[in-house]
Structure 1
Amino acid sequence: MAIQTHKITETPDAFIVNGVRVPKMKKGQSNVYDPAIIKAVGSELFFDLVASKQPLPMPDLGFSEAEWKDMEKMLDNDQ
């Protein structure tokens, strides 16, 4: 099996992999990628480049403790 090497350069808003521009993910925006880009660089390398390296924190949704408990009860009743 041949080992494929990639020439990767980084700009402020993208990675360039063997001449293919892979835009960086932007926080707070919908990030949609052309399947041809993913196929061109390979899915494993694509996700290594653009995926978050750390788990994303759960945002504070503004619910009180009582509201969370009510929602949990509703979910339990649905099962």
Structure 2
Amino acid sequence: MIDVLYFAWLRERTGHPRESLDTQAPTVAALVEELRARSEGHALAFSDLRAVRVAVDQKLASLDAPLTGVREVAFFPPMTGG
């Protein structure tokens, strides 16, 4: 079971702040494909992956990051400094 967290406009588009999923996805990219199929809102949230960042167990990661043993995946827009 993996907890998936959504922040900012990703939360708005999916309609969920978090979901717990039972997935066999081997990577973040494969998980994104599963999520896109869940609803129109999910598909919209992940329509442009250049605008999405990901953290795996609270560490920044790439879409090819493996999910073996992972408990949490968070999706959020790019951060800006200030």
Q: Which has the higher strand share?
A: 2
Pairwise TM-score range, normalised by the shorter structure:
under 0.3
Q: Which has the higher helix share?
A: 1
Taking structure 1 as the reference length, what is the TM-score of the superposition?
0.24
Q: Which structure has the greater CA radius of gyration? A: 1
- TM-score (norm: length of structure 2): 0.23
